[in-house]
Amino acid sequence: LRVNSTHWFIVMQNGGDFDAPPCGQINPNDPSSDQRCEIVPEMNTGETFRVIGNVTNRTGTPWIQDPMALQVDLDSNGVFQGSQETGYARVPTMYGGEARFDYNWTWYSQYQASTYGVRVDFTNSEFYFTGNQPNVLAETGAYNNVSVIGTTDLQLNTLPRLYRNQNTTVEARLIDNALQPVKNAPVNWTWSATGVNNYSETDSNGIFKIDLNITESDDLGNFTLQFSFPGSPLLQGSMVNQPMWVVSRTYVELITTTSNLRSSGEVWQFSAKVTDDNSTPALRDPGAALDGNGSEGGIVQVIFEGTSFDSVQHRQVMFELEPNAGDIYDELLLDAQILREDPSSYLPDGFGPVNVILRFQENLPHEGCEQLQEYQLSLQGAWDPCVVIQGSDHYRRVMQYNVDGFSLIGRTTLDVDDQIVYTSEIDPVTGQSIEKPMVVTGQLVDELGSNLTNRNIRVSYEMQ
């Protein structure tokens, strides 16, 4: 063994070489592993080793007639074979009067932490033998074992919201640099909110679970759950600080609203209450009133969702309200003419049904919906990702147009300008009655003077 300022060097062994280090276990952590008389170096994932040597025949003449290969026993079965285990296969090159070979191998992340056998030999090794003692012959090949120290990573499988007065299980996974599970390993954890610490053990899939009991008296806020794996002889340790919020549910409760049939010139209004969960997330038990838009409050968006005559939905953010001691209130004068002229109107025809959406924007530690992007308002179908969040009906209230939303109903005028009625007659040949059409023409317009198309008109008549 020798070293310089940048590298260390060891001599590889073969079966005919009796100048060997003391014998011992290949893997010192595994008493059942084979014994070899060698120095077993340790390398980290990502590092590279280099094998340099030369080849001569029994007379000391450089030998470049056959290719040689660097091989690594990746599956630890004691057999060096296959393209995955072979790094190079080429003949030595003459350099400084020697038949020199120079190979390297990098321990990429896909290689698990383990002790690997390394060999340099002829590709046709069955035709050669070696030995440095009289009357002793052995198979060719220079061998050594290398222990690779891998890295680890802690990954959260679940990242739950934590609520007061509720037990929550946090599930995480410990993997190595080859993305394989680290089995039966201890993982220490600490919850910063209370200072509680303990340890869990990974299962055969590298998964471990932590049960957190958040009491009703625990503070709301952003805390950290720290995981740490201390490491093992073949694996480096790792640590993760995962931020986790203890939050309260937000309740938006509708108090009053006007009737749902509105005409142009009338006012639509509503009032609602915004509260937290009173530390009891499993029950609809509104607690403290939210106030303002700071840490003790938030913003409630009031979105109008109208449907045009061609069944296309149009949305517009009408109000953004800050609760005042929990109360929100607003009113709107409905004007069909303005709605028709507004290019971003929720009712481009001036009339139609309107769903009203009360949407609390997340303001941690008060949960809510993520902020909407402008383009999302114009999407048809699933436009609001907040809908798919379990329990979002607490803080995203939809007021349907036929219940507590509204419909803007327009007045219509039907002008009949011509009626042509033919009396029937009898065909003198067949004696059958000859039918003749009754023609009625006119115009249907709304109160803004616009023609209404594709409407059914009922025409009634009676014979005198």
pLDDT of residue 167: 86
The Cα 146–Cα 445 span in angstroms is 89
391: left (phi over 0), alpha (psi -120 to 50) or beta: left
Q: What is the 3-state secondary structure (H, E, C) of the chain?
A: CEECCCCEECCCECCCCCCCCCEEECCCCCCCCCEEECCCCEEECCCEEEEEEECECCCCCECCCCCEEEEEECCCCCCCCCHHHEEEEECCEEECCEEEEEEEEECCCCCCCEEEEEEEEECCHHHCEECCCCCCCEECCEEEEEEEEECEEEEECCCCCEECCEEEEEEEEEEECCCCECCCCEEEEEECCCCEEEEEECCCCCEEEEEEEECCCCCCEEEEEEEEECCECCECCEEEEEEEEEEECCEEEEEEECCCEEECCCEEEEEEEEECCCCCCCCCCCCCECCCCCCCCCCEEEEEEEECCCCCEEEEEEEEECCECCEEEEEEECCHHHHHHCCCCCCCCCCEEEEEEEEEECECCECCECCCCHHHHHCCCCCCHHHHCCCHHHCEEEECCCCCCEEEECCEEEEEEEEEECCCEECCCCCCEECCCEEEEEEEEECCCCECCCCCCCCCCCCC
Averaged pLDDT for residues 47-62 = 90
pLDDT of residue 462: 72
Token duo for residue 421: 């009625």
Top-confidence residue, 347 or 166: 347
Asked if 438 and 421 touch (Cβ cutoff 8 Å), the reply is: yes
pLDDT bin (cut points 50, 70, 90) of residue 232 is very high
Block residue for tokens 């012959």: 137
Asked if 410 and 350 touch (Cβ cutoff 8 Å), the reply is: yes
Averaged pLDDT for residues 120-148 = 81
In the chain, % of residues over pLDDT 90: 55
Rounded (10°) CA dihedral 33, 36, 39, 41: -30
Domains defined along the chain, listed by start: 2-149 (2.60.40.1930), 152-247 (2.60.40.10), 251-409 (2.60.40), 411-464 (no CATH)
Is 111's pLDDT higher than 90?
A: yes
pLDDT tens string 282-326: 556 667 899 998 888 999 999 999 999 889 999 999 999 999 999
Is 371's pLDDT higher than 80?
A: yes
Beta bridge partners of 252: 274
In terms of Cβ atoms closer than 10 Å to its own Cβ (0-12, 13-18, 19+), residue 160 is middle
The Cα 396–Cα 378 span in angstroms is 19
Is 399's pLDDT higher than 90?
A: yes
Asked if 90 and 68 touch (Cβ cutoff 8 Å), the reply is: yes
In terms of Cβ atoms closer than 10 Å to its own Cβ (0-12, 13-18, 19+), residue 380 is exposed
Mean pLDDT, the chain, integer? 88
Q: Which of 20-24, 139-143, 375-379, 455-459 has the lowest mean pLDDT?
A: 20-24
The Cα 213–Cα 199 span in angstroms is 15
